[in-house]
Chain A
Amino acid sequence: MSGPLALAITGLSRWFGGLRALEKVDLSLAPGERRGIIGPNGAGKTTLFNLIAGEVAPTAGRISLFGNDVTRLPPQRRAALGLARTFQVNTLFPNLTVSENLLLAVQGTTKAKLSLHRPISSYRHLHEQAQALLESVGLPGAGETIARTLSHGEQRQLEVALALASRPRILLLDEPTAGLSLAESQRLTGLLKRLERSMSLLVIEHDMDVVFDVTERITVLHEGQVIAEGGPDEVKTNRLVKDIYLGTS
């Protein structure tokens, strides 16, 4: 894969008063790379995602997506550049149907979203895309179900589907298998592995099996700093990482 880095973070810091949630983090993601982010609770993983996504402004440092400096850009501009994310807690549209959830996601990066003179039912290609997404994440036929009545596992699937709707070039997944059963977890992992190779992935996970299965390189965060980075074997044998994870998988 050639071309500019999918994601380039330099010197990224975020302080909340006296708390240093992230401290001088550097991270580069090549196009098509699959990277895992691991670390104990409070290491700053979700803060990192919020900074990349543009929900939170950094205290210092720069972020660029595919060669574009996005440090000051709001979330919707980053989405237009090909960024998508899932949330640690399901952030769906609870009272809308699954189809409506997906339509919102599909039209989000299109001009159609500002059109008010045609009913949405007339936008066939949007509906087709939504239907295709529905099937690819394993929820066929659930179109008319109200989102909040889905099971937790199904909601998590919808969560991922919403992020995939814009055909992103880089996808941030925040603990995608949280709360899933083994079977559901495996199905999701299968889905992630089947994603287009050109899509870059950044995955926060606590489930090490998922991390080692889906990602090729792992970055370890601890107390806001990168303490290790490398392939699965490197990270597994890293002394510092082992100390921190003593007792956990």
Chain B
Amino acid sequence: MTWRRAIPLLACVALLLAAPPFLPPYALTLLTQILIYAIFAMSLDLLLGYTGLASLGHAAYFGIAAYVVGILTTQHHASFWLCLCAAVLAASAAAAVFGLIAIRAAGVYFLMITLALGMVTWGLAFRWVSLTMGDNGISGIARPSLLPGWSFAQPLPFHYLSVAVFLVAFALLSLIVRSPFGLSLRGIRETERRMGALGYHVWLHKYLAFVLAGAFAGLAGALWAYYDGFVSPVEVHLLTSVEALLMVALGGPGTLVGPVLGAGIIVLFKNLLSIYTKRWLLILGLVYIGVIVFAPKGIVGALRGARR
């Protein structure tokens, strides 16, 4: 990591840590939302940007984790750490099972299979009313308390919790993409055929990436359940999966930082836009189309390309 790259990053981290007490409440909650979605988007980037696998069902793991937190908290009053671990484990287990079916496929088949798997998860969330409360969702998810007397019910403490989780996720994912495993994923994305000839068990690498991506998506989902206090089938819907894809595509796949930026833009856009117009879905659709027409490599990709 050169100093040229490290300084802007350190500056951002410093800002993340120092600025929140000075932000107005609405801005603070938006920033929390952005950080949670950034984790979600980064997890997808591992799969899409680094391994070259575009999944249309990534929200399944986000949602499953959110539901686990919702169910454990409201029905069993489980502690924060138990919920978090159970949620991430559940998301990873789902990815492990779904991955067995999906990773056999490539390219467009993979897109369709992950779409179907994601919608099956949605269907379960929607119909298994005794477990998930169906369309009504699970509400009243209380904010966790890490230490007795130290509750995260207030926006500012919860925000710092999110910052901490985000920084941990970012650090772990950065380590993974800079490791030999990470390089292998990029090799698979570039020229899969050569990888087999070079001695790589390509399926295994893809599968591991898939499960890891699911785990980190689960981390984001667990945090989301606490943030929003409410979980519904929307969390596992196709729209959420595609939104994550857009965040990655907009920010720049394969950069890790890009998806964070993409998450920021989309969250701000959705929230601010819906204040001013009822037609925000239409405009969001136009944004999707516009991004593809004008910035196919995403923002970070375009910036890096211009610098070279």
Contact = CB atoms under 8 A, between A and B. Distances in A.
Interface of A: 53-55, 74-76, 79-80, 84-85, 87, 91-96, 100, 103-105, 107-109, 112-121, 123, 126, 162, 165-166
Which of B182, B184, B193, B194 lies at the interface centre, i.e. has the most chain A CB atoms within 10 A of its CB?
B194
Contact of A100 (B183, B193, B205): B183
Contacts of A75: 196-197
Contacts of A54: 196
Given A92-B191, A92-B194, A116 B199 contact: no
A96 B179 contact: no
B193 A113 contact: no
A117 B175 contact: yes
Contact of A116 (B175, B196, B197, B198): B175
Given A93-B187, A93-B194, A96-B187, A116 B202 contact: no
Contacts of B200: 76, 108, 113
Which of A91, A112, A120, A123 lies at the interface centre, i.e. has the most chain B CB atoms within 10 A of its CB?
A120
B179 A76 contact: no
B186 interface: yes
B199 A79 contact: yes
Nearest to B174: A119
Given A91-B194, A113-B184, A126-B180, 17 more contacts: A55-B197, A76-B196, A76-B202, A79-B198, A80-B199, A87-B194, A93-B186, A96-B187, A100-B186, A113-B199, A113-B200, A115-B180, A116-B182, A119-B178, A120-B179, A123-B180, A166-B198
Contacts of A166: 198-199
B190 interface: yes
B181 interface: yes
Given A94-B191, A118-B179, A119-B179, A53 B198 contact: no
A4 to B, nearest CB: 21
B287 interface: no
Interface string B292-303: 000000000000
Contacts of B197: 53, 55, 75, 79, 84-85
21 contacts: A53-B197, A75-B196, A76-B198, A76-B202, A79-B196, A79-B197, A79-B199, A93-B186, A93-B194, A94-B191, A96-B187, A103-B180, A107-B183, A107-B184, A112-B180, A113-B184, A116-B181, A117-B175, A119-B175, A119-B179, A120-B183
Contacts of B208: 114
B201 interface: yes
Interface in B180-238: 180-184, 186-187, 190-191, 193-202, 204-205, 208
A162 B193 CA distance: 13
Given A114-B181, A116-B176, A119-B179, A74 B196 contact: yes
B196 A93 contact: no
A94 B196 CA distance: 17
Size bracket of the B interface:
20 to 34
Contacts of B181: 113-116
A76 B193 CA distance: 11
Contacts of B193: 55, 91
B178 A108 contact: no
A94 B198 CA distance: 16
Contacts of A76: 196, 198-202
A85 B181 CA distance: 23
Contacts of B195: 104, 108
Nearest to B186: A96
A84 B182 CA distance: 23
Given A76-B199, A91-B193, A113-B200, A104 B179 contact: no
Contacts of B178: 119-121
Contact of B198 (A108, A120, A123): A108
Contacts of A113: 180-181, 184, 199-200, 205
Given A119-B175, A119-B178, A162-B194, A108 B199 contact: yes
The 3 closest A-B pairs by CB, nearest first: A108-B198, A79-B199, A108-B199
A136 to B, nearest CB: 18
A106 to B, nearest CB: 9
Nearest to A105: B198
Contact of B180 (A92, A93, A120): A120
A165 B208 CA distance: 25
Contacts of B176: 116
Contacts of B184: 104, 107, 113-114
B180 A107 contact: yes
A234 B208 CA distance: 53
Nearest to B209: A116
